[in-house]
């Protein structure tokens, strides 16, 4: 196990009706709030925005709203939000929506204290030393951004999708009400399920030895997400299943499963290129890339892949044929994604040409080789794209 430091200072307020408490939390940081919010009609028709506005007014909080954020959020909205915060002397940024909304709000909160174009933070390895406080109300369980230290933003002018990382980007509070996810389509719900599962997998497939506790935590979280995802296939309004998945979303990406171990992130870095170049939903790119990555690298740590199959999918562990056990685990995750009606090939995703594979492979490895089960170079990434394209 590696040495580590871990601190999770986000206040989690979990359960039904807690969005009514948002004003009580915001006022702790000031009385001028920028709401960064989803464009979807559901947050209006569900009454969520009315509840938020009423709670803010009852606490004598002034607020303005920024909407129009798209999936794979873009830097232009971040710049717009930074300008609003500076012009109106905002005290706190409040994100209401999914990971794209929360990541946009995080980037805004960091950009306010940077004397330059906020995109520099994503491209020039500039340390973030101060941010505006941030609160979040997620309306989808997926990205885990409500508890993470990062944000991912796209620059459409360059087809670049980069991240920033800082412990300061953790929200001060996160109001998690699983009921707010009930109106989601099955497709968006299951894109979220894949994203959550991927966050645990990126930590689970490590080259660090003697990490039994976090191995078991990761496997338990993955089993929980899989079991409850399957419940939602037949009963999409099941509150208890959505509650399990929403809590798993936070725990999968708040750093707990990272403690004492190296993480992989190869699948994410490869899938990010599909999002950046084809504007595909993040979870859908991961359901395509994860099995392809597993097929390409599993032989480099047969035992770990076999244990994954056994612990997560209850495959019989055959110590005399680890290859067969590992392959069965890959088959099971494909089968799970298929049950969710998620794409498992690029063609399922609507990508029917390979003309960008060279460019995307170079971009994915622009900072060097990626992953940790097997370090992947540009040619390896292209091979994974080709497996996913079959």
Q: What is the CATH number of the domain that holds 218?
A: 1.20.1090.10
The helix or strand, by DSSP H or E, that contains position 145, with its residue range, turns out to be none
pTM of the model: 0.94
Specify the number of domains making up the chain.
2
Degrees, nearest 5: CA angle 6-180-53: 95
Classify residue 5: in a domain, yes or no.
no
Mean pLDDT in residue range 54-62 = 98
pLDDT given at position 179: 96
- What pLDDT sits at residue 274? 93
Is 105 inside a domain boundary? yes
Residue 176 to residue 141: CA distance in whole angstroms: 9
pLDDT of residue 33: 98
Quote the domain boundaries for residue 296.
Answer: 186-389
Q: Are residues 337 and 253 in the same domain?
A: yes
Within a domain: residue 213? Answer: yes
Whether residue 4 lies inside any domain: the answer is no
Let me know whether 176 and 193 are in one domain. Answer: no
2 within a domain of the structure (yes/no): no
Q: Which residues contact 363 (CB under 8 A, 6 or more apart)?
A: 160, 273, 276
Mean local confidence (pLDDT), 89-110: 97
Do 292 and 158 belong together in one domain? no
Shared domain check, 144 and 37: yes
pLDDT above 70 as % of the chain: 100
| pLDDT higher than threshold 90 for residue 96 | yes
Domain boundary among 180, 202, 227: 180
Q: Are 108 and 82 in contact (CB under 8 A)?
A: yes
Nearest-angstrom CA–CA distance, 151 and 15: 25
The predicted pLDDT at position 241 comes to 98
CA atoms of 276 and 271, how far apart (whole Å):
9
Domain membership of residue 1 (yes or no) is: no
Which domain-ending residue is among 135, 161, 180? Answer: 180
The confidence score (pLDDT) of residue 175 equals 98
Same domain for 198 and 304: yes
- Looking at the structure, tell me whether residues 86 and 174 fall in a common domain: yes
**Per-residue confidence (pLDDT) for residue 142, from 0 to 100:** 95
Last-in-domain residue among 123, 158, 180: 180
Q: Phi then psi for 333, rounded to 5 degrees?
A: -70, -35
Does residue 29 lie in a domain region? yes
pLDDT at 192: 97
Q: Does the structure show a pLDDT above 90 at 39? A: no
Q: What is the dihedral of CA 10, 15, 20, 22, to 10 degrees?
A: 10
pLDDT score of 6: 93
Percent of the chain at pLDDT above 90?
94
Residues 108 and 160 in one domain: yes
The DSSP call for residue 74 is B
Same-domain status, 161 and 200? no
Residues 362 and 268 in one domain: yes
- Same-domain check for residues 19 and 125: yes
pLDDT, average across residues 23-37: 98
Q: Tokens at residue 287, please? A: 């359901």
Same domain for 84 and 140, yes or no, is yes
Task: Identify whether the C-beta of residue 169 lies closer than 8 Å to the C-beta of residue 149.
Answer: yes
CA dihedral sign, ordered 374, 379, 385, 390? negative
pLDDT bin (cut points 50, 70, 90) of residue 390 is confident
Nearest to 111 by CA among 136, 143, 80: 80
Q: What is the pLDDT of residues 297-342, one digit of tens each?
A: 999 999 999 999 999 999 999 999 999 999 999 999 999 999 999 9
In a domain, 165, yes or no: yes
Decide the pairing of beta strands 134-138 and 150-155. Answer: unpaired
Quick one: pLDDT band at residue 43, thresholds 50, 70, 90?
confident
- Let me know whether 168 and 112 are in one domain: yes
Kindly report the CATH number assigned to the domain that includes residue 24: 3.40.50.1970
pLDDT, tens digit (0-9, with 9 covering 90-100), for 138-197? 999 999 999 999 999 999 998 888 999 999 999 999 999 999 999 899 999 999 999 999
Residue 35: strand, helix, or coil: strand
């Amino acid at each position: 196990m590696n040495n580590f430091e871990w601190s999770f200072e986000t206040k989690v307020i979990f359960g039904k009706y807690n969005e009514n408490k948002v004003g009580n939390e915001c006022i702790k940081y000031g009385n001028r709030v920028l709401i960064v919010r989803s464009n979807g009609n559901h947050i209006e028709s569900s009454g969520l925005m009315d509840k938020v506005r009423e709670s803010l007014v009852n606490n004598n909080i002034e607020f303005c709203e920024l909407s129009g954020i798209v999936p794979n959020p873009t830097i232009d909205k971040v710049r717009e939000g930074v300008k609003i915060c500076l012009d109106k002397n905002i005290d706190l940024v409040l994100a209401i929506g999914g990971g794209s909304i929360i990541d946009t709000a995080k980037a805004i909160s960091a950009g306010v204290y940077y004397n330059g174009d906020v995109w520099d933070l994503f491209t020039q390895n500039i340390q973030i030393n101060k941010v505006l406080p941030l609160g979040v109300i997620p309306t989808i369980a997926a990205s885990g951004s409500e508890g993470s230290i990062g944000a991912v933003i796209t620059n459409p002018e360059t087809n670049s999708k980069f991240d920033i990382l800082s412990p300061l980007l953790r929200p001060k509070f996160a109001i998690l009400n699983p009921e707010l996810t009930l109106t989601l389509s099955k497709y968006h719900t299951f894109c979220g399920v894949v994203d959550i599962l991927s966050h645990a997998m990126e930590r689970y497939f490590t080259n660090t030895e003697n990490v039994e506790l976090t191995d078991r935590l990761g496997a338990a979280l993955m089993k929980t997400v899989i079991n409850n995802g399957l419940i939602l296939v037949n009963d999409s309004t099941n509150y208890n299943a959505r509650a399990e998945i929403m809590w798993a979303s936070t725990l999968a990406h708040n750093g707990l499963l990272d403690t004492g171990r190296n993480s992989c992130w190869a699948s994410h870095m490869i899938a990010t290129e599909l999002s950046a170049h084809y504007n595909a939903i993040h979870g859908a790119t991961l359901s395509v890339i994860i099995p392809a990555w597993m097929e390409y690298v599993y032989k480099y740590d047969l035992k770990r892949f076999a244990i994954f199959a056994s612990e997560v999918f209850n495959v019989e562990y055959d110590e005399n044929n680890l290859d067969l056990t590992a392959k069965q685990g890959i088959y099971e995750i494909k089968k799970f994604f298929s049950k969710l009606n998620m794409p498992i090939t690029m063609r399922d995703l609507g990508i029917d040409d390979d003309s960008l594979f060279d460019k995307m492979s170079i971009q994915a490895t622009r900072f060097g080789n990626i992953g940790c089960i097997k370090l992947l170079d540009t040619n390896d990434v292209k091979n994974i794209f080709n497996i996913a394209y079959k």
